[in-house]
Amino acid sequence: MSMPCIFITGAAAGIGAETARLFAQNGWFVGLFDIDETGLHKLQQELGQHVCMTGQLNVADEAQWQKALTAFFSKTGRLDVLLNNAGILASGKCTEIPLKRLHQLIDVNVKGVLNGCYLAYPYLKQTANARIINLCSASALYGQPSLAVYSATKFAVRGLTEALELEWAGDGIRVMDVLPLFVQTSMVTNMDANSIKNMGVSLTAIDVAQTIWQAANYQKRLAKVHWTVGFPTRGFYALSGAAPDFISRTINQFISRKG
């Protein structure tokens, strides 16, 4: 296949679907993978079967990853971008969320990303200028109350991204992450965290998709690993790298205060 190709997890709605639309509109072939087969079928009908393929994928399941990647590469012969977008969220006081649910966050948000990176590696290595883009979060800048385990999973994604970016540079594979604040998707509906009540939700899925597009097409020699979305996130990111810990703690304590 001559056109560039992107494999998207969590593609049936939200950020994944908007990213699929943007890339398809710009001449890419798009692999749409999700547990929501109905949503995938609807999106495929919208985009057209000639520019995309679909497949059911629970990212926590290694065998499903193997099947999906094999089918995708058999059709395309290349894997230019893997977008590890699938993720879930649970909010509220940590001890008031069932432990089983918190384990699910780790299975999807951490193991799901690890599965994708590990199992896609042979296909990425066969594609010139290939890259992985992991959906991270501003919650990976400082641990967030009411989002403790979600925040921890995003710290893990950030650390994995940084390590693999260095480890796989010699293989010609770029590894990046995208760090938005709260985004207007179903994930934040009825979210129980004071930070979202105090800061609101200004970013859209399209905003994040446009940043993913920039990361996918970045060609400068200087590595750019972390891609922030929106001015507030850029500010938090700058502070996290320059300010003493007590300042970062104070800022996060302030934005997560009760109204």
The better pLDDT of the pair 238, 33 is held by: 33
Confidence of residue 139 (pLDDT cuts 50, 70, 90): confident
pLDDT tens by residue, 86-105: 999 998 999 999 999 999 99
pLDDT tens by residue, 170-182: 999 999 999 987 5
Q: What is the CATH number of the domain that holds 244?
A: 3.40.50.720
Lowest mean pLDDT among 22-36, 209-223, 224-238: 224-238
Residues making up the chain, counted from first to last:
259
Report the distance separating Cα 81 and Cα 154, nearest Å: 20
Whether 150 is catalytic is yes
Average pLDDT rounded to a whole number, residues 41-57: 97
Indicate the pTM of the whole model.
0.87
Average pLDDT rounded to a whole number, residues 51-55: 98
Give the domain extent around 96. Answer: 5-255
Q: Quick one: pLDDT at residue 140?
A: 85
pLDDT tens by residue, 107-131: 999 999 999 999 999 999 999 999 9
Tally of structural domains, the chain: 1
From the candidates 118, 150, 218, 237, give the one annotated as an active-site residue.
150
What one-character-per-residue DSSP string does 196-238 give? HHHH---B-HHHHHHHHHHHHT---SS---EEEESHHHHHHHH
